[in-house]
Structure 1
Amino acid sequence: MDKSVIILISISIAGLILLAGHHYIFSIYELTYNHPPLKLFADGQSTLTIEAIPVNSLGMKAPLRDANTTFEIVEGIELVDVILNDFKSGVIKIKAKHSPGKVIIKGSSAFSMLPSSFEITIEPNYANLFQ
């Protein structure tokens, strides 16, 4: 075989490998949300963090990609303080105030078909009642 044919075949194979790598490793197929149990205590100190994680076709976190997720508090805005709401990294961190109740947070992104809702219960802190 001619040397130019070998170089052309090598470049073609490398291009196919790069294209497959982009398609399977770097493309976002869905979002998953990483969060602890959705419960806070009405003590003014309890915090909760919800993080959107972009997932590739192999089921792993897509490297070098951001989730770009917007979080909106639909119900119970008066029960929590928003400490962090980062659109680019897809993270929201809230802190409970001193009132019990229910908070509903809606997360939406261009990578998900429908928004995801999170219902957070803020329970009374009975430990502080007896101090």
Structure 2
Amino acid sequence: MIFYSEALQRIPRDLYEVSQLEDTSAWQRFVTITLPMVSPTTLFLSIITTVDALQAYDQIQVMTQGGPSGSTRTLLYYYYQLAFEQFNMGQATAVATLLVAITGIISALQFRLTKKYVHY
């Protein structure tokens, strides 16, 4: 919410004044001014949230330790188990490399898919 608050404060008030002079509705102002002006913030937050979801570790460690039969195990938690519980550094390195690759691919896809909708 702090990021969106800052993004909303950076929108020039002149745009809203002009749209009111043109007698546009609140919905039209939201769609044509507000959404495009906060689209970089939305892209940033979607990427950060996705990366954070891929790297979930502490919640799983505290609550379930991987869950029954590994049902709540994430890639990062699996990496931890391989490296620090089983001391299998080769497989742990492979899992870490896979995690970095997946994160990069998902971020690149988000950039590519939102290229049309993000206005700088």
Question: Is the structural similarity TM-score above 0.5?
Answer: no
Taking structure 1 as the reference length, what is the TM-score of the superposition?
Answer: 0.30
Which structure has the highest strand share of the two? 1
When normalised by structure 2's length, the TM-score is: 0.32
Bigger-Rg structure (1/2): 1
